[in-house]
């Protein structure tokens, strides 16, 4: 994308002088100054000797034509201001001449290579009410085209070429008038002209220069979080992942998460799809608004073995076909929808808060505690099963997990803690 061109103009005119200063406001850093100078026709050699400034910048002429007794002279120069930002320019001629100078400050030009060799033209124009320049061919469109015309009549106005912008109004001083116009080229061939109300009595001289525009780049802003423990790659995450966070709005699909995952957090709005979670998951927290779909969470028969805590926040949707063995705690907060076809063996605590809709096809074997608060809608197809063989007649002992609980299942207790 081409950079935006802006021009700040400064004018100076002098009826007859060998040298004079042009005071300007210090240009912005990165700006380019162009200087267009018109010299009145007259006897003897009439040429521009130099343009300098108070900080030592170099001004390079790109179009040069000295005045003579029959034609006006015109010059176009530029400086990339490598030496600093000037406030005074000095225009020097080889003789005392009437001249008209315009200094323009440009933003958006290429300060490294402002000019491509050969992209300049100048020639005499026929007398009359129109002015123009020779045709300038440029390598590519998108360049600043700057055209200047030196005339020796007093013109009240100047009508620029279509699509061009006039750079300062005409102002005749000592029979010398210079007008300039510019545009960002739309083609590779430019020959801008213009009209003036009074017919020129001496041929004007037109000059045109193409300046290179800085290629505009795109600025990208990114963030990168270097998180220890967040090794998380593709379908098979990793062993020992400590934390997995699915930001709100994300869809987190993992075929096989990991062993020893310590925490799996799905932020509100996230969708966590985990057909097979892991062994030894310690904590699975689903924020309100989360959808959690786990077809199979156990290893043996599907599921998580030895999960310590599973919390489903209000608003979460939790669908588990087969939860786990040895889950220690499963809490569905108010508003949660928990659908567990087969919950768990030896779940220690299952708390279903008011407002929860819990459908447990097969609830617990050897659960110690099942609390359902007022307002709970619970549908239990088979809430009690035969206690495992090791529990029968062996209160408090003989379980493979080594738990020293006090007694075996004597029936699911609803509404109170045991």
Partner 1 sequence: MAAIFPDDGLDVLLGQWPKNDTRETTANLCLFTSQTASTVQGHTGNLAGLTETTYTSYARQSLATATWGALAEYPTNAGRQTVYNSGTPVTFPTVGATGATINGAFLTNGANTKLIAQANFSDLTAVTLATNDVLKVTPTVALTH
State the residues that interact with partner 1 by CB under 8 A: 214-234, 238, 242-243, 245, 262-263, 265, 267, 287
Shortest Å distance, C-beta 225 to partner 1: 4
Shortest Å distance, C-beta 261 to partner 1: 12
Shortest Å distance, C-beta 106 to partner 1: 17
Of the two residues 238 and 340, which places its CB atom closer to partner 1 in the complex? 238
Of the two residues 222 and 416, which places its CB atom closer to partner 1 in the complex? 222
Residues 6+ apart with CB under 8 A from 60: 77, 78, 79, 115
Beta strands 159-160 and 193-195 are antiparallel
Shortest Å distance, C-beta 342 to partner 1: 30
Token representation of residue 23: 């005071």
Residues 6+ apart with CB under 8 A from 148: 36, 38, 63, 74, 75, 76, 102, 178, 179, 180, 206, 207, 208
Shortest Å distance, C-beta 115 to partner 1: 19
Shortest Å distance, C-beta 158 to partner 1: 36
Of the two residues 221 and 300, which places its CB atom closer to partner 1 in the complex? 221
Token representation of residue 193: 């002209």
Shortest Å distance, C-beta 309 to partner 1: 14
Of the two residues 78 and 110, which places its CB atom closer to partner 1 in the complex? 110
Of the two residues 226 and 393, which places its CB atom closer to partner 1 in the complex? 226
Token representation of residue 156: 């009240």
β-sheet bridge partners, residue 364: 344, 384
Other beta carbons within 10 Å of 411: 7
Whether 316 and 290 have beta carbons less than 8 Å apart is answered as yes
Using CA atoms, how far apart are residues 357 and 334, in angstroms rounded to an integer?
Answer: 9
Shortest Å distance, C-beta 282 to partner 1: 11
Shortest Å distance, C-beta 238 to partner 1: 8
**Residue whose structure tokens are 């099942």:** 370
Of the two residues 43 and 219, which places its CB atom closer to partner 1 in the complex? 219
- DSSP letter string, 85-154: --SEEEEEEEEEEEEEEEEEEEESB-SSS-EEEEEEEEEE--SSSEEE---EE-SSSSPEEEEEEEESS-
Closest CA to 89 of 173, 171, 12, 180: 12
State the DSSP H helix or E strand holding residue 263, giving kind and residue range, or none if neither: strand 263-266
Of the two residues 20 and 232, which places its CB atom closer to partner 1 in the complex? 232
Of the two residues 220 and 300, which places its CB atom closer to partner 1 in the complex? 220
Token representation of residue 29: 């850093």
Of the two residues 167 and 244, which places its CB atom closer to partner 1 in the complex? 244
**Residue whose structure tokens are 């919950």:** 343
Using CA atoms, how far apart are residues 94 and 50, in angstroms rounded to an integer?
Answer: 9
Whether 180 and 148 have beta carbons less than 8 Å apart is answered as yes
Angstrom distances, CA of residue 364 to CA of 52, 190, 332: 94, 86, 16
Shortest Å distance, C-beta 111 to partner 1: 13
Of the two residues 8 and 141, which places its CB atom closer to partner 1 in the complex? 141
């Amino acid at each position: 994308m081409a950079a935006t061109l802006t021009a700040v103009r400064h004018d100076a005119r002098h009826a007859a002088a060998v040298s004079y200063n042009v005071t300007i406001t210090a240009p912005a850093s990165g700006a380019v100054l162009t200087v267009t100078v018109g010299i009145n026709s007259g006897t003897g050699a009439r040429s521009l000797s130099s343009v300098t400034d108070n900080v030592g910048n170099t001004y390079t002429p790109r179009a040069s034509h000295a005045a003579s007794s029959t034609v006006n002279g015109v010059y176009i120069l530029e400086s990339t201001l490598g030496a600093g930002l000037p406030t005074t320019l000095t225009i020097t001629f080889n003789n005392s001449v009437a001249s008209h100078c315009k200094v323009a400050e440009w933003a958006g030009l290429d300060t490294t290579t402002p000019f491509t060799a050969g992209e300049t033209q100048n020639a005499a124009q026929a007398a009359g009410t129109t002015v123009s320049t020779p045709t300038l061919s440029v390598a590519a469109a998108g360049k600043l085209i700057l055209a200047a015309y030196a005339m020796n009549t007093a013109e009240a106005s100047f009508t620029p070429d279509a699509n061009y912008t006039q750079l300062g109004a005409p102002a005749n001083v000592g029979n010398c008038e210079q007008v300039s116009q510019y545009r960002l080229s739309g083609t590779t061939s430019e020959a801008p002209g213009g009209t003036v109300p009074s017919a020129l009595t001496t041929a004007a001289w037109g000059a045109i220069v193409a300046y290179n525009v800085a290629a505009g780049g795109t600025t990208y802003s990114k963030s990168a979080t270097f998180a220890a423990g967040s090794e998380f790659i593709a379908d098979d995450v990793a062993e020992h992942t400590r934390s997995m966070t699915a930001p709100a709005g994300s869809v987190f699909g993992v075929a096989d998460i990991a062993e020893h995952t310590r925490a799996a957090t799905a932020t509100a709005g996230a969708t966590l799809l985990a057909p097979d979670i892991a062994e030894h998951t310690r904590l699975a927290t689903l924020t309100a608004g989360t959808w959690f779909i786990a077809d199979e969470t156990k290893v043996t028969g599907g599921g998580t073995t030895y999960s310590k805590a599973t919390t489903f926040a209000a608003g979460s949707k939790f669908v588990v076909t087969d939860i786990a063995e040895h889950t220690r705690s499963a809490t569905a907060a108010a508003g949660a929808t928990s659908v567990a076809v087969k919950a768990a063996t030896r779940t220690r605590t299952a708390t279903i808060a008011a407002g929860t809709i819990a459908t447990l096809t097969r609830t617990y074997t050897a659960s110690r505690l099942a609390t359902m608060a007022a307002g709970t809608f619970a549908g239990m197809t088979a809430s009690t099963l035969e206690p495992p063989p090791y529990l029968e007649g062996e209160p408090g002992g003989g379980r493979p997990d080594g738990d020293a609980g006090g007694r075996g299942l004597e029936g699911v207790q609803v509404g109170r803690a045991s």
